[in-house]
Amino acid sequence: MMLSNNNMQSIIEKAKKLKLLILDVDGVLTDGKLFFDNDGNEYKSFHARDGHGIKLLRQTGVEVAVISGRKSNSVALRMKSLGIEHVYQGHEDKRTAFNELLCQVGVLPEQVAHVGDDLLDLPIMMRVGLAIAVNDANFAVKERADWCTSALGGHGAVREVCDLIMQAQGHFDDLLNIYLK
């Protein structure tokens, strides 16, 4: 999605207000592929840079939550390892989880970003301050997103989102300097 400078400035202004980032799992934190062994155990692959970006973003005071239509033990384990407390799994209708999350975290919809890839994400994306689609999202999701990542889901798209928010809020350079010492 090519953006004019005015459109990018609008996205940055929206990102400055964010206090909560909500992520879908399949197709956003993963590449969307589902792996099952012969016993029915499910396996998912998560990108390490996405995880590090989430940890950095959380250090700046932005909460991160997950709302997924599917339920998976591997998601619970990964989110626990990242320190994400707000994990909603098995919510095909994501609106109920979204409304609960707003109350729990104490934020307004305009202080929330949502990253999605498929039609199940649209009900939340249409309600938040910053709607984001991964690069390989369904066309209808991309058409309704404020911004689209250059990276594919499961391939660093979440890190790209985290970096954008940290840059917009003026935290990225301070975090970068920690690694440059």
Domain positions in the chain: 18-176
Q: What architecture does CATH give domain 18-176?
A: 3-Layer(aba) Sandwich (3.40)
Pick from 111, 99, 74: nearest CA to 89: 74
Nearest to 65 by CA among 33, 2, 21: 21
| Residue percentage of the chain with pLDDT more than 70 | 97
Q: What is the mean pLDDT of the chain?
A: 94
**pLDDT per position as a tens digit, 38-79:** 998 888 999 999 999 999 999 999 999 999 999 999 999 999
H or E segment and range at residue 116: strand 112-116
Q: What is the mean pLDDT of residues 148-175?
A: 96
pLDDT value for 92: 86
How high is the pLDDT of residue 146? 97
pLDDT in the model for residue 2: 45
